[in-house]
């Protein structure tokens, strides 16, 4: 039997947003302390294939939404030796503006999304501002164009993409949200993305307030825990703690690019 491929995983922080803890949980937070969000894209690098997980947003979108870009996604990827214009595969965990922007950065990539996410972000739910506000219409339109260009690979539920790498529908936060399971030297890591914004959401079973279906979000916490080898193998989508816990890629990228395939410190 052939060995399962192992990958290196990089978390690349590209933006930041200050906010208070009460905004990060349904029902608020009794402590109401500063609890900022970091914004990441992830790179999964194997022997033969490299996958980019989510594409971030650009400076124009940051200005429009009051976020702060700390390094461009393009520069972050260059730091780890990836040139965006040669990337073949992009996995989008979901279509929110902070995960599906930088529309022209990956001109030759094939995009992996869940059937449910395309249906959700082009369907009747988008008539409601409460559900549509995290989506950017231009990002959605770009995705529709890619469908017609033959550049989208759809997934339905659990889907093996290649040896040691699979996507899994969890829904909840966005109806077609998927997480990415990756085999590494330290075992199976799950890039949970917005299935859990912070470690606290999944560890304390406290849902994040941007949500389509709370029941699916809570079930999603269980799915993520089941897919990961341990709680230390779960990577939340927006927690600044990730950059404290994991070793930096190198001296120059201390504080913004970390290695997730090496056990946390």
Q: Which chain residues interact with Zn ion by CB under 5 A?
A: 96, 98, 194
Query: Whose Cβ is closer to Zn ion: residue 10's or residue 120's?
Result: 120
Query: Whose Cβ is closer to Zn ion: residue 137's or residue 160's?
Result: 137
Query: Whose Cβ is closer to Zn ion: residue 98's or residue 239's?
Result: 98
Whole-angstrom distance, CA of residue 104 vs CA of residue 27 = 38
Residue 160: CB minimum distance to Zn ion, A: 24
Spatial neighbors of 172 by CB under 8 A, at least 6 apart, are 195, 207, 211, 212, 213, 214, 215, 216, 217, 218, 219, 220
Residue with tokens 């079930």: 219
Chain centroid to Cα 261, Å, comes to 16
Residue 171: CB minimum distance to Zn ion, A: 12
Residue 196: CB minimum distance to Zn ion, A: 11
Q: Are 192 and 227 in contact (CB under 8 A)?
A: no
Query: Whose Cβ is closer to Zn ion: residue 99's or residue 183's?
Result: 99
Residue closest to 89 by CA, chosen among 106, 67, 69, 76: 106
Using Cβ positions, the residue closest to Zn ion within the complex turns out to be 96
Residue 5: CB minimum distance to Zn ion, A: 28
């Amino acid at each position: 039997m052939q060995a399962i491929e192992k990958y290196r995983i990089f978390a690349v922080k590209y933006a930041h947003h200050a906010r208070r803890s009460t905004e990060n949980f349904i029902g608020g937070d009794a402590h109401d302390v500063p609890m900022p969000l970091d914004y990441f894209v992830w790179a999964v690098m194997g022997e033969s294939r490299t996958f980019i997980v989510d594409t971030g947003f650009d400076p124009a979108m940051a200005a429009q939404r009051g976020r702060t870009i700390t390094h461009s996604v393009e520069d972050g990827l260059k730091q780890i030796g990836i040139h965006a214009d040669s990337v073949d595969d992009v996995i989008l965990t979901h279509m929110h503006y902070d995960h599906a922007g930088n529309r022209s950065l990956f001109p030759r990539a094939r995009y992996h999304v869940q059937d449910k996410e395309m249906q959700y972000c082009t369907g009747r739910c988008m008539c409601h501002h409460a559900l549509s506000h995290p989506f950017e219409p231009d990002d959605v339109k770009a995705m529709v164009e890619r469908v017609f260009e033959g550049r989208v690979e759809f997934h339905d539920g659990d889907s093996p993409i290649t040896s040691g790498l699979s996507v899994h529908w969890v829904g909840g936060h966005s109806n077609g949200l998927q997480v990415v399971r990756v085999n590494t030297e330290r075992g199976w890591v799950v890039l949970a993305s917005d299935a859990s914004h912070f470690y606290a959401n999944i560890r304390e079973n406290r849902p994040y307030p941007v949500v389509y279906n709370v029941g699916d979000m809570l079930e999603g916490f269980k799915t993520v825990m089941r897919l990961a080898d341990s709680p230390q193998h779960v990577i939340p989508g927006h927690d600044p703690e990730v950059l404290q816990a994991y070793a930096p890629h190198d001296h120059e990228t201390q504080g913004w690019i970390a290695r997730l395939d090496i056990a946390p410190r």
